[in-house]
């Protein structure tokens, strides 16, 4: 990752650190949430939507509604959504809890104990 990308801020409070994944709708980054003095507060995941999707008014309304509902969800089985908005270029984004390991990464490590597999499935 380039030094320029590492300095990229989203919403003036999320510093992008590395690209995690990308898809048809956007890109997900590992990022630092900064406090009011610019110090790193916690690691988060930031999903930015593609510019053309962000500019679609109907999609933007649905996105904002869905994110507001997700922000109210409290469950040990779902990631917490912390924040959302538009970046300096007008792209929509949302910020959520960062999971350091994906289910795929857990599974490829080998067979899971039955209790762990049941917990994940439940």
pLDDT in tens, 95-110: 999 988 877 888 888 8
Dihedral over alpha carbons 82, 86, 91, 92 (to 10 degrees): 40
- Residue 1 is predicted with a pLDDT of 41
Q: List the Cα angle 39/84/62 in 5-degree steps.
A: 170
pLDDT in tens, 59-79: 999 989 999 999 999 988 789
User: Which CATH number is 3-121's, of 3.30.200.20, 3.90.75.20, 3.30.450.20, 3.50.50.60?
Assistant: 3.30.200.20
pLDDT exceeds cutoff 60 at 51: yes
């Amino acid at each position: 990752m380039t030094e320029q990308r590492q300095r990229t801020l989203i919403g003036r409070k999320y510093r992008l650190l590395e690209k995690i994944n990308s898809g048809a709708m956007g890109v997900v980054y590992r990022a630092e949430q900064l406090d009011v003095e610019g110090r790193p507060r916690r690691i988060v995941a930031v999903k930015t939507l593609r510019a053309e999707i962000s500019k679609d008014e109907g999609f933007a309304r649905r996105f904002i509604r869905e994110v507001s509902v997700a922000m109210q969800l409290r469950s040990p089985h779902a990631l917490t959504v912390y924040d959302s908005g538009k970046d300096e270029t007008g792209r929509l984004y949302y910020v959520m809890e960062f999971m350091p390991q994906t289910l795929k990464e857990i599974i490829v490590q080998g067979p899971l104990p039955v209790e762990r597999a049941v917990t994940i499935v439940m």
